[in-house]
Amino acid sequence: MDLYGEGFNPVLVFNAEKRRRDMHADPDLARYRELVTWADKLVFIYPLFWGRPPAMLLGFIDRMFAAGFAYRDKGGLFPEGLLKGKSVVCVSTMKGPARYPLLWLHNAHKIIMRRALFRFVGIKKVKFFEFGRMESPKGRQKEKLRKVYRYFRTVAR
C-alpha cells in the first residue's frame, strides 16, 4: 500500500468521539488491520528524514499499533505482543552515505524501529536495508534494487 497515494491521514487524535481505548477498532483503519493480521511479513519502504522515517509512516504507526490490536498491557513494563510470529523488513534510503546513521547517529533509527516498536508488539525478526547516496549518479542504484530482489527471492522460497 502507498500511504501517500491513498491520502492516509497520519494524525492520531483522541477526543470524545475517538477514544484511546477504542483505537484498536477504529473503523477508518479496518482494512489496514486486516492486511497486517493476514501478513506473515511486513515490509516498510521509506526514506530517512532527519535520521528516522517520515511523519507519514510514523503516523501510520501511531494510529495502527494500538493497544488491543498490536499489544496487550499486562501491568508490567513490557506488554504481551499481539503481532508475535510475524517478521519485518525495512528498506530505507537516504541522500547521505549509508554509514551516517550507524557512525554518527549510533543506529538510533534501527533502535527506534526494532526495539521501541517491533519488539514491543512481539516481532523479533527485523531485517534492515539502508541505502545511501540515493541522489548520486555514482550511487549504483540498480545494484541496490538487485540486493533487495535477491533477498526476497531467497526468503520466498
Position 138 contacts a second copy (CB under 8 A): no
CB of 143 to a second copy, least distance (A): 22
Give the separation between CA 126 and CA 86, rounded to whole angstroms.
9
Among 10, 36, 46, 68, binds a second copy (CB under 8 A): 10
Stretch that binds a second copy, among 3-11, 22-30, 34-42, 144-152 (CB under 8 A): 3-11
Nearer to a second copy, 59 or 141 (CB): 59
Number of residues that bind a second copy (CB under 8 A): 32
Contacts 24+ apart (CB under 8 A), 21-28: 21/67, 21/68, 23/63, 23/66, 23/67, 23/68, 23/69, 24/66, 24/67, 24/68, 24/69, 24/70, 25/68, 25/69, 26/63, 26/66
CB of 133 to a second copy, least distance (A): 11
Give the separation between CA 2 and CA 100, rounded to whole angstroms.
27
Nearer to a second copy, 55 or 155 (CB): 55
Position 102 contacts a second copy (CB under 8 A): no
Among 96, 127, 133, 148, binds a second copy (CB under 8 A): 96
* The dihedral sign for the CA sequence 33, 54, 155, 157: positive
Give the separation between CA 125 and CA 86, rounded to whole angstroms.
8
Position 68 contacts a second copy (CB under 8 A): no
Give the separation between CA 125 and CA 108, rounded to whole angstroms.
18
Contacting residues toward a second copy, per CB under 8 A:
4, 10-13, 49-52, 54-56, 58-59, 61-62, 65, 77, 96-97, 100, 104-106, 108-109, 111-112, 115-117, 120
